[in-house]
A = this chain, B = another copy of it.
Amino acid sequence: MATSSEGISRATIYDVAKEAGVSSATVSRVLAGRDIVAESTRVHVTAVAERLGYRPNQVARSLSNRTSDMVAVMLPDITNPFFSELVKGVQSAAFERGLTTLICNTESDPALERRYLDGLLASQVQYILVVGLTLDRESVQRYMSAGLTFIALDRPLQHSSQVLVQSDNRGGGELAVRHLITLNHRRIAHIAGPVDVPLSADRRQGYLDALRAANIEVDDALVVESEFSEQGGARAFEELDRRGGDFTAVFAADDLIAMGALATARQSGRSVPEDLSLVGFDDVLHARFTAPPLTTVRQDAMAMGERAVELITTPEADRPTDTVFLPVSLVLRGSTGLPPKRSAASRKDQAWSD
């Protein structure tokens, strides 16, 4: 073994073996723990390894095993607070199981996705938790047959039927809009997420279901689309305004959109919730610090991450083959209230009860 001044060299399994007077195989067995070893040699070898400050070389282990202790999580935008919380959940769950998390920020760029996947393949990484790929189906298939196992989080993988862990998006949308209806809102707008993200349709479906259940006619002019960002929400709200602005409430497809809409609404002179009620989706950390604090549908990002990691450590046979749904809940805060007089007055039942 090289001296520490030589840098990165460390005690190897051979150093331990020689020092302990056994073979390297025995040391390996002791370390792996699951092979039969005499208690006395186990104790001795462990002590020697400890004394030498031995640390297994993960790279050598990977090469020999053709496995890796890393799990990758691939997502479109780490600056989206929902995703960064998700990452936190993945990371803490992975850590508990001795796995290291590799975060891949793709910017929804297929070229980046490909580079990452190639890199993961080259590094023997097997499991990829993925939040929406933009890569084409064929490429994904190719990576799968090359040995990658995908677990979809939040968004399904292109056409493919991988396991998917996601929140009850439709139910959440319904919850949000039912809340608004209960408050007596009738003209409810929806800022939907991008069409190419399936959960956008689910949340929108929840919106439609709630309206229909209350016999409220659906007005397409009240639905606009936006990307998941404050920027997008701001623009979408302007568009809604441009179309006439005849609504007393908005259900936004996520909190960022809601925050952008909130900022724009206030700039256009409306007070929230007096003139306009607003509901978001996700319950990101910042949602309780907007002015007013945002009423929103809570998704448990940490739980989603944990559940996904749980899946990869579940023997393949016991693994569910289709979607795992996570419950959502409504968090009431200050951004929703009764509609302004003009359109509210007619009903007094139900309000504030949900």
Contacts and interface: CB of A to CB of B under 8 A. Distances in A.
Interface string A48-62: 000000011111101
A27 interface: no
A352 interface: no
A163 to B, nearest CB: 18
A66 interface: yes
Contact of A78 (B8, B69, B84): B84
Interface stretch (A150-158, A246-254, A284-292): A284-292
A81 interface: yes
A129 to B, nearest CB: 14
A119 B79 contact: no
B234 A58 contact: no
Contacts of A95: 112, 115
A195 interface: no
A56 B263 contact: no
Contact of A263 (B68, B124, B290): B290
A162 interface: no
Given A78-B88, A260-B289, 10 more contacts: A8-B147, A58-B119, A58-B122, A59-B63, A79-B88, A95-B115, A100-B123, A263-B289, A263-B291, A291-B291
A102 interface: yes
B119 A100 contact: yes
A17 interface: no
A38 interface: no
By secondary structure, the A interface counts as helix
A145 B9 CA distance: 10
Contact of A105 (B9, B87, B102): B87
A262 interface: yes
A100 to B, nearest CB: 5
A121 interface: yes
A66 B145 CA distance: 30
A57 B291 CA distance: 52
Contact of A230 (B105, B263, B286): B286
15 contacts: A4-B145, A5-B145, A7-B147, A55-B121, A55-B122, A58-B119, A58-B122, A59-B62, A63-B63, A78-B87, A78-B88, A84-B84, A95-B112, A95-B115, A290-B291
Contacts of A85: 79
Interface string A217-250: 0000000000000100010000000000000000
**A-B residue pairs, 5 tightest by C-beta:** A8-B147, A58-B122, A230-B289, A103-B103, A266-B291
A271 to B, nearest CB: 10
A63 B62 CA distance: 9
Given A102-B100, A230-B285, A291-B290, A63 B60 contact: yes
Interface string A168-201: 0000000000000000000000000000000000
A275 to B, nearest CB: 14
